[in-house]
Amino acid sequence: MRRAPLACLPLLLALLTGGAVASQQYEPLADSVRAALHRAISDRPAPESAGGASAERQLWLNTMSERLTKRMPDEAGRMEFLKAVHYEATRAGLDPQLVLGLIQVESGFRKYAVSSAGARGYMQVMPFWVKLIGNEESNLFHLRTNLRFGCTILRHYLDIEKGNLFRALGRYNGSLGKAEYPNLVRGAWERHWSWPGLSASNP
């Protein structure tokens, strides 16, 4: 049996475990920051209201749906997922393709994924965030809730790091300063989800 090259081992580890080894770390938040993040989590308009049904958005949905078919065979569920990703990422000022890359590394697109540290759902959100900025009805296994929390948290880390994606991803994974996780996410993003047709602001 051929052995995988050493350079591939981090990616294989992430794929086999369904996510990254580390997890988001609790950090005390100023009251004003908690309030702002709570407002961001609580505002929940319908996904269809963002971006309308533009031809570009529909082309993005169709393209990403085709790429995601093997991981999510159910077409209706796949389209619901992609619409929610597009909406929540765009709403948070993130590139939807980046979010897809992060989800691939974090959960392997498994809705009910739970890490050894207790992180939950597609974007592997730690439960302490519910107490910090959510409410008792926040279910991290719910599609929109998980994406809303995950995108809001990543945006928060990007703001803290003044747009430095490498450091923001490190914070998201609880491995600030280490290259493995940011490189995994960027690699998944660029290899599987990059699409120049989308006019979206990069973080």
- How many Å apart are CA 28 and CA 147, to the nearest integer? 22
User: Which of 75, 106, 136, 161 is flagged as catalytic?
Assistant: 106
Q: Which amino acid is at 82?
A: L
Query: Where do we find the tokens 């082309």?
Result: 59
Per the DSSP assignment, residues forming a β-bridge with 125 are 120
Residue 75: active-site member: no
- How many Å apart are CA 74 and CA 94, to the nearest integer? 26
CB atoms within 10 A of CB 141: 14
- Residue 154 near residue 167 (C-beta atoms within 8 A): no
Read off the DSSP letter of residue 112: T
In terms of Cβ atoms closer than 10 Å to its own Cβ (0-12, 13-18, 19+), residue 109 is middle
Q: Which token pair is 93?
A: 């000022």
Q: Which token pair is 17?
A: 């475990």
Give the sign of the dihedral formed by CA 171, CA 177, CA 181, CA 186: positive
Active-site residue set: 106
